[in-house]
């Protein structure tokens, strides 16, 4: 059965959820190294006291044939400290396989809690990447919530990350 | 003549101190681990530089490992070589593990026919090994403890329980949750009671490749507590020592207490 909702009603119902949009793009740089492994990566949103609102993405070797994918999660050090060591992986809708060099979009769902009810305040988007036999890099993008006008916020990585871009639209 | 006698006296006084200037330590292969289970391997040595194997192995007599549930865990693959001892631990359950090497020994000095002798050994051998005719016998008890910690998954507290014997560290900040630029707090205890006014020396490993030791010195407060803000990430050696008259062996008149911890500080 199909329920037909009058156009006007659906607009009103959806309005609070559609009020904001957020997009995150993360660039994994192409590296010229003898032994390359795709980086483990975590992206999350922090409050001013460094506590974590939510993990947006966790890329790791979750299908490791020896079941050793979670052995190196601790190398995403800050994420491990703030979130990882207290949760079970994989996390539904958050964890996925590692990605090849290139630019990748990470979906941010503002219609689901806790982001749908994010209280007004100052927050930081954090992206941390750690590569086996390689380096580690952590980038931060501070932002104030809610936003009044469209914003494109950017952080540039030096080693393990390329450009990280957070687009916020009211 | 007086000068020579003074020099000899100084030498005798300094000898034990010099022997203690070597640094004893446990060095775990990792302190923060993820996954369902993990292994760590641990080196144990006595050296000048931290953390290099260049002087003596640390004997594993007195090794104990306490697991996340507060129960004893057996080490595996123990061996002692020319410059270091080593052992492995299988971390089968999540939480914090405390590794300790604790020792209780005696030092004695005495004279036989005017000749000065020194003795070192276990309490039960004292009366057997020191001759009946010994004069000017002084016996010193030595209690020392070396520790380090490792955590699989989230840190836990059960293994951090202190034993109430000798000089010990009671962490306030979890010892596997140390980060550069952050302050960590600890309490030093003697026989389970706060140890006030004890100097604590903290040195970051890798001093072979730097010109200055970079020693951090802090003194414990009235409640035995002290705090340190880690200047850089690295493996740190923390040492404290004290003396008192609370010997647990009848013939000993003085007790020397030593404590060492190896603590890993990660980059922010």
Domain holding A87, by residue range, is: 18-169
Q: What is the DSSP letter of A93?
A: T
pLDDT at B11 > cutoff 90: no
Asked if the Cβ–Cβ distance from A72 to B155 is below 8 Å, we say no
- Predicted confidence at residue B132, as pLDDT, reads 85
pLDDT in tens, B26-45: 999 999 999 999 999 999 99
Binning pLDDT at 50, 70 and 90, where does residue B5 land? very low
Flag whether A11 is in a domain.
Answer: no
**pLDDT recorded at residue B249:** 86
B95 interface with A at CB cutoff 8 Å: no
Q: For residue B126, what pLDDT band results from cuts at 50, 70 and 90?
A: confident
Q: Which of B34, B154, B179 sits opposite A73 (nearest CB)?
A: B34
Q: Using CB atoms, pick whichever of A67, A78, A80 lies closest to residue B34.
A: A80
- The pLDDT of residue B133 is 85
Interchain CB contact of B182 with A (< 8 Å): no
Q: Which of B34, B36, B177 has the CB atom closest to A74's CB atom?
A: B34
Are B202 and B227 in contact by the 8 Å Cβ rule? The answer is no
Helix (H) or strand (E) holding B128: helix B126-129
Average pLDDT rounded to a whole number, residues B47-58: 94
- In the A/B pair of chains, how many CB contacts fall below 8 A? 31
Query: Does A77 sit within 8 Å of B267, measured CB to CB?
Result: yes
Does residue A110 surpass a pLDDT of 70? yes
What is the predicted pLDDT for the residue at A170?
A: 87
How distant is the Cα of B249 from the closest Cα of chain A, in angstroms? 45
In this prediction, residue B250 carries a pLDDT of 83
Q: Does B36 touch chain A (CB under 8 A)?
A: yes
Interchain pair A85, B155: CB under 8 A: yes
Is the Cβ–Cβ distance between B95 and B74 less than 8 Å? no
Average pLDDT in chain B: 91
CA distance linking residue B77 with residue A106, whole number of Å:
46
Task: Identify whether the C-beta of residue B56 lies closer than 8 Å to the C-beta of residue B46.
Answer: yes
Whether residues B268 and A78 touch (CB distance < 8 A) is answered with: yes
As a whole number, the mean pLDDT across chain A is 89
> What mean pLDDT comes out for the span B106-131?
90
For residue A97, tell me if it sits in a domain: yes
Q: What is the DSSP string of B20-86?
A: HHSEEEEEES-SEE-SS-EEEEEEEEEESSTT---SEEPP-TTEEEE-TTS-EE--EEEEE-SS-EE
pLDDT band for A67, please (50, 70, 90 cuts): confident
Mutate to test the interface with B, among A81, A132, A160 (most CBs of B within 10 A): A81
Instruction: Please determine, for the modelled complex, whether the ipTM score is greater than 0.85.
Output: no
All residues of chain A having their beta carbon less than 8 Å from the beta carbon of residue B33 are 71, 74
- Which one of A67, A71, A80 has the shortest CB-CB distance to B38? A71
* CA gyration radius, chain B: 20
Distance from CA of B212 to the nearest CA of A (A): 27
- Nearest residue of B to residue A86, measured between CA atoms: B154
User: Residue B13 above 70 pLDDT?
Assistant: no
Measure the CA–CA gap between A159 and A161, rounded to whole angstroms.
6
Q: What percent of chain B is predicted at pLDDT more than 90?
A: 82
Which chain B positions have a beta carbon within 8 Å of A70's beta carbon?
A: 34-36
pLDDT reading at B123 higher than 90: no
Q: What is the per-residue pLDDT across B84-105, written as a single tens digit (0 to 9) for each?
A: 999 999 999 999 999 999 999 9
Token pair 């000065």 is found at B116
A-chain CB neighbours of B32 within 8 Å are: 74, 77, 80
Give the residue, B149 or B8, on which the prediction is more confident.
B149
Q: What is the mean pLDDT of residues B69-86?
A: 97
At CB < 8 A and 24+ separation, what contacts does B187-190 make? B187/B220, B187/B223, B187/B224, B187/B225, B187/B226, B188/B220, B188/B224, B188/B225, B188/B226, B188/B240, B188/B259, B189/B162, B189/B164, B189/B224, B190/B166, B190/B242, B190/B244, B190/B246, B190/B257
pLDDT of residue A9: 43
| pLDDT number for residue B21 | 60
User: Cβ distance B230 to B178 under 8 Å?
Assistant: yes
What is the rounded distance in angstroms from the CA atom of residue B242 to the CA atom of residue B115? 30
Which candidate from B153, B266, B268 shows the least CB-CB separation from A85?
A: B153
Whether A49 contacts chain B with CB within 8 A: no
Q: Roughly how many angstroms between the first and final C-alpha of chain A, as a whole number?
A: 35
Q: Determine the residue of chain A that is closest to B34 in CA distance.
A: A71
Number of domains into which chain A is organized = 1
């Amino acid at each position: 059965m199909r329920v037909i909702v009058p156009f006007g009603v659906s607009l009103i119902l959806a309005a609070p959820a559609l009020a904001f949009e957020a997009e995150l793009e993360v660039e994994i740089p192409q590296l010229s190294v003898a032994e390359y492994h795709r980086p483990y990566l975590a992206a999350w949103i922090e409050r001013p006291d460094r506590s974590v609102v939510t993990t947006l993405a966790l890329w790791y070797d979750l299908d490791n044939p020896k079941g050793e994918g979670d052995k190196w999660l601790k190398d995403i050090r800050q994420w491990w400290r703030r979130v990882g060591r207290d949760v079970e992986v994989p996390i539904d809708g958050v964890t996925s396989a590692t990605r090849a060099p290139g630019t990748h979009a990470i979906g941010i769902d503002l219609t689901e809690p806790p982001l749908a009810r994010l209280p007004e305040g100052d927050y930081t988007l954090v992206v941390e990447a750690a590569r086996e036999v390689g380096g580690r890099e952590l980038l931060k993008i501070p932002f104030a919530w809610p936003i009044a006008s469209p914003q494109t916020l950017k952080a540039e990585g030096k080693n393990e990350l390329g450009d990280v871009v957070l687009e916020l639209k009211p | 003549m007086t000068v020579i006698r003074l020099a000899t006296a100084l030498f005798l006084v300094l000898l034990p101190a010099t022997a203690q200037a070597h640094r004893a330590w446990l060095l775990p292969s990792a302190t923060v681990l993820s996954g369902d289970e993990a292994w760590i391997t641990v080196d144990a040595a006595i050296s000048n530089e931290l953390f290099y194997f260049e002087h003596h192995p640390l004997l594993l007599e007195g090794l104990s490992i306490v697991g996340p549930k507060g129960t004893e865990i057996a080490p595996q693959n123990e061996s002692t070589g020319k410059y270091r001892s080593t052992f492995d631990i299988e971390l089968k359950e999540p939480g914090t593990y405390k590794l300790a090497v604790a020792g209780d020994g005696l030092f004695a000095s005495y004279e036989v026919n005017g000749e000065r002798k020194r003795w070192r050994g276990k309490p039960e051998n004292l009366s057997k090994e020191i001759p009946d005719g010994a004069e000017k016998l002084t016996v010193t008890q030595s209690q020392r403890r070396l520790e380090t910690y490792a955590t699989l998954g989230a840190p836990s507290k059960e293994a951090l329980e202190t034993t109430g014997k000798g000089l010990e560290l009671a962490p306030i900040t979890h010892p596997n949750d140390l980060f550069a630029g952050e302050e960590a707090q600890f309490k030093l205890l003697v026989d389970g009671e706060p140890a006030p006014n004890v100097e604590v020396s903290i040195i970051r490993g890798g001093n072979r490749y730097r010109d200055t030791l970079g020693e951090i010195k802090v003194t414990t407060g009235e409640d035995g507590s002290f705090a340190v803000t880690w200047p850089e990430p690295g493996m740190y050696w923390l040492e404290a020592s004290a003396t008192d008259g609370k010997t647990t062996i009848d013939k000993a008149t003085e007790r020397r207490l030593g404590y060492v911890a190896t603590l890993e500080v990660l980059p922010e």
